[in-house]
Amino acid sequence: MKSIIARYGTAVAACYCVLAVALWVWPGAGWYRAGIGFTLALAVTGAAYAAVPCRSHAGAMLLLAVATALFVGAVANVNFFTLGSGGTAEWPYFHNVDAWERWGEARRIVERGRLSIQPAACVTALLMYTLGHDAFTSLMPGLLSALLSIVITGAIAGRLTGRRDIAFGSMLALSLMCYFMVQATVLIKDVPLALGMALGALALVRLDGGSRGPATWLAAVAAVVVMAVYRPNTLNFLALGALIFAVRRRGILPFAGVAALAVAARVGGMYALSYIPATYDSGMSDMYIAASGSGGGDGTVDSLLAAYPAMPVWKRLMLLPATVVMQFLIPFPWDWASDRLFGPTVPLAHCQYTWYAAGALLVYWAAALARRSPAPMVRLGLWAAACYIITAYLFAGRISRYALPLLPLMMPMVAYTAAVAWRRRSLRVWLAVFALGMTATLLICHKIHMG
């Protein structure tokens, strides 16, 4: 204990000071709730990281920095949701329609004392029931999920390669994905879903390596529970991942068990929810859409894709390359002010350059390194690619945040490429070509989008 205090005591104290300054600059979140939440997040994250074999001092310091940044962002957002929008901690004003629906549904669950067809709202309602109606407390699952996703991403990379530098690089890469980090500071589902996907990936990678112990199955069950609560459709992705990992000459049964568990949870959830009466108030959501001005589209892009939902399968398949590219590009790195209504941190989601760099490394890995990579990493890459393409196909590439849960599957390949091939001339040439191509593409997109 003394050695831990000596190594991290000063850094932890500095993080608490930064949080205290943020609470003073942006009042609205309760001091004791923010302090307790920050302490809980550090304790849970620290305990989880201590169980990772490829842990490092640099990784621990990174988690401290990320936790501080996330909580400062949450404090700034709560200030905007409360004092900045004429609300209070008990009655925040969420301009994001999804967040408002979830908060309102959670209040109805608490006030009416019955379950909801929105399981994620039940989590918020449980927090309301136990810890009080508080805007900051409602953000805690997302904040903690982001930190644990970073830890598990490092654990996956360490399991695949046995290298601490790649494990740390994976954690660093995920923490640099601005869109992902921003989503953790608002009341949105995608970051908890990233935790679910990370847990599922860890379970499958452990099974692939021959680990059949309780820790492996605990990760699999936890993944199923998180996905079932926040977005049950993603259980299909977990089942797909299990099938991809099962394409081997032996050891199919454990993967079939994971797939069966995911399918059973999906079917059971649909059956259970069919017996729960809806408490959803669509009129209030319509009011918020009109009030926030979020009903508008993106001009030319919307007009081009307006007919997409009615298109036959073959047309969607023909458009797939374009929808995959669109999903990769958005949110575009301009028009930052368009999202400030949803919270002070949300415009930072437009800082997409780190994601573009990660995409360049992923393409290089697929083209030049996949054949020499560990076999489980290849299967993980195939799983991530399949889910990414399916998401683009289903939503025309327009809802890029639906792909955020796949980031923990991708970052190990990003870090592996950076660590293994950073001295290769071919990588440097590819990055230069990619940068030029992205510049031209973004200029064209800017002309279309803003025109």
CA 428 to each of CA 97, 299, 415: distance values in angstroms, whole numbers, following the listed order: 43, 37, 15
Confidence (pLDDT) at 291: 33
pLDDT of residue 296: 37
Find tokens 């379970």 and name the residue: 203
Kindly report the pTM of this predicted structure: 0.92
Give me the pLDDT at residue 277, please: 59
Low-confidence ranges of the chain (pLDDT < 70): 1-2, 249-250, 273-305, 451
Q: Is the peptide bond before 408 cis (omega within 30 degrees of 0)?
A: no
Q: Radius of gyration over alpha carbons of the chain, in Å?
A: 22
- C-beta of residue 408 within 8 angstroms of C-beta of residue 336: no
Asked whether 261 and 228 are in contact (CB, 8 A), the reply is no
Return the residue matching tokens 């001295």: 423
202, 153 contact by CB (below 8 A)? no
For residue 304, the model assigns a pLDDT of: 59
Report the C-alpha gap between 434 and 440 in whole angstroms. 10
Residue 222 contacts residue 199 (beta carbons within 8 Å):
yes
pLDDT tens sequence across 336-387: 887 888 989 999 999 999 999 999 999 999 999 999 999 999 999 999 999 9
